[in-house]
Amino acid sequence: MGQDNKKILEEERRWEKDCLERHTSGNAEMDWGMKVKTLYTPNDIEDIDYLEDIGFPGEYPYTRGPHPSMYLGRLWTMRQYSGYGTAEETNKRYKYLLEQGQTGLSVAFDLPTQIGYDSDHPLSQGEVGKVGVAVDSLADLERIFDGLPLDKLSTSMTINAPAAILLAMYLALAEKQGISFERLNGTIQNDILKEYTVRGTYIFPVKQSIRLITDIFEYCSRYVPRWNTINIAGYHMREAGATAVQEIAFTFADAIEYVNAGIKAGLNVDDFAPRISWIFNTHNNFFEEIAKYRAARKLWAKIMKDRFGAKDPKSLMFRFHTQTAGSALTAQQPVNNVVRVAFQTLAAVLGGAQSLASCSYDEALALPKEDSVRLSLRTQQIVAHEIGVTETVDPMGGSFYIECLTKKMEEEIEGYISKIDELGGAAVAIEKGYIQQEIQESAYRHLKEVESGKKVVVGVNRYQLEEPPSKGLLKVDPKVGEIQIKRLKELKTTRDNKKVESALSELKKAAVSKVNLMSSILDAVKTYATLGEICDVLRDVFGEYEGTLTI
């Protein structure tokens, strides 16, 4: 045996001994503080009445799943979060993924689009088409979905501050394809509160942003009934460093704020609550992630029934999309990410996801290549068809450890929600910097544990290798910005600018008043008014949000 192999073996034996001693002494614990026992027995869950408290799949409180048959009746929607470069490149990638068996689209927009700037804005320089596809007008959306009939797709759009505008573009495109709004299926993220806490792609102040959200609730409840009007996002909180408990708690606090806003705007809770959906982050701790989703389903059902008096069973159902954890991917030994993503995918399925996107192994280095996105899609397909976890409903139900962990997480989540209620709700907690501070402290603790070696990240702080620079990565052509600017100039010379000016003027009048803005925004995008032009009108009326500094 070579000297290097001997060192590796000795290190592994030492770590096994340390691990055994750590568990024997009861020092293992979750990020949020729960001590992990070495063995779980019926005594750990004896206070749970299985028939009343856990119930059955498809029955309140939905701990075991929102549907009686779960994957026996229908598999989850398989998506890959994608979009980059020009509209044509994104269209090509979507067609490729659909040919490979993907069952839903998930649109990634570039940074200028996310913050309401056109590609020719000075702040857009160097960012056009980089982290997603550039959308300046309805013309770009027409190119993105060229040859893709919208009534045959389920489309998710990860857009927040300008969500109403992108939704209006999608509706206008449906009209051009001769498709009625009633036949459209999809989701708009439309979750602005998490932008103020962790992500930063906000535009307008809180009050005006929530007005746009409730306008979407009302408009879609009337005209686009199958559209999920908000996709409340814990994913980004987890990426920023939140624990599993914080991810659910802070996301639910945001959701409570939105539901209250909808009711205050005069909507009946059952008119819009059935179209609330979620996106969460499935991370590395396999059992914690499964329990997290079980606890979330149960708790959301209780919140909607007890706090808001919802009557429609669909209002109580926690339906969620999840993506595997981008922050868990490592640039070191990136092929190891294939294993991480596979286990995260399995945890999401055992947790009962309705929709799932699995990361590609090379995402820590660059936008994923075709072969890596195909492999991540194949990962989902193998879990669905080859390993037997979809052959029975809730195969983890009744596990002593899972049920105990579920109950403990529910209690911790409720504790956070109570604290935020005491502060005055999520919006106030964000203004005070409470949620941001909690996440920052959690992220710092995690970083210190990785740096000290208390938490092992394979290939990063243990089992390292000397690696050559990665080759063959996907790179966005820097000329994308030039292409978009040229197209914008052509658009502005060929469109009817009098109609554009009239539509923007009407939008400004509507924004100053209290009427629902969706119809005015839809009229504007139909004239090929640009995203930036529409956002500038709203900036002029609403102003812009200034972030809260936390120390």
Q: DSSP strand E in 292-362: where?
A: 320-324, 355-357
The H or E element that residue 187 is part of is: strand 185-188
The CATH number assigned to the domain with range 42-452 reads 3.20.20.240
Closest CA to 198 of 241, 230, 249, 259: 241
Model confidence band, residue 53 (pLDDT cutoffs 50, 70, 90): confident
* Residue type, position 532, single letter: G
What pLDDT, on a 0 to 100 scale, did the predictor assign at position 27? 61
The H or E element that residue 506 is part of is: helix 497-512
pLDDT digits (tens, 9 = 90+) for 163-216: 999 999 999 999 999 999 999 999 999 999 999 999 999 999 999 999 999 999
Secondary structure string (H, E, C) spanning 231-295 = EEECHHHHHCCCCHHHHHHHHHHHHHHHHHHHHHCCCCHHHHHHHEEEEEEECCCHHHHHHHHHH
Copy the structure tokens of residue 430.
């964000």
Neighbours of 51 (CB within 10 A): 7
What pLDDT, on a 0 to 100 scale, did the predictor assign at position 394? 96
Question: Residue 78 pLDDT more than 50?
Answer: yes
Task: DSSP letter for 463, please.
Answer: S
pLDDT digits (tens, 9 = 90+) for 25-51: 556 889 999 999 988 888 887 766 655
Percent of the chain with pLDDT over 90: 86
Would you give the distance in Å from CA 184 to the centre of its chain?
20
Percent of the chain with pLDDT over 70: 93
Average pLDDT of the chain is: 93
Copy the structure tokens of residue 225.
């009934």
How far is it, in rounded angstroms, from Cα 360 to Cα 212?
34
DSSP strand pairing (355-357 vs 185-188): unpaired
Residue 198 pairs in a beta bridge with none
pLDDT digits (tens, 9 = 90+) for 322-372: 999 999 999 999 999 999 999 999 999 999 999 999 999 999 999 899 999
Model confidence band, residue 1 (pLDDT cutoffs 50, 70, 90): very low
What pLDDT, on a 0 to 100 scale, did the predictor assign at position 473? 86
DSSP strand pairing (230-233 vs 276-282): parallel
Copy the structure tokens of residue 440.
């920052």
Question: Residue 5 pLDDT more than 70?
Answer: no
Compute φ and ψ for 187, nearest 5 degrees.
Answer: -145, 140
CA atoms within 13 A on the CB side of 329: 25
Instruction: Report yes or no: 298 and 248 within 8 Å, Cβ to Cβ.
Output: no
pLDDT digits (tens, 9 = 90+) for 423-460: 999 999 999 999 999 999 999 999 999 999 999 999 99
Question: Residue 54 pLDDT more than 90?
Answer: no
pLDDT digits (tens, 9 = 90+) for 218-250: 999 999 999 999 999 999 999 999 999 999 999
Which residues are within 8 A (CB) of 80 and not within 5 positions of it... i.e. 6 or more apart? 97, 102, 106, 357, 358, 360, 373, 376, 377
pLDDT digits (tens, 9 = 90+) for 288-327: 999 999 999 999 999 999 999 999 999 999 999 999 999 9
Which residue's entry shows tokens 């009098």?
498
Task: DSSP letter for 45, please.
Answer: G
Give the start-to-end residue ranges of the domains of the chain: 42-452
Compute φ and ψ for 227, nearest 5 degrees.
Answer: -90, 135
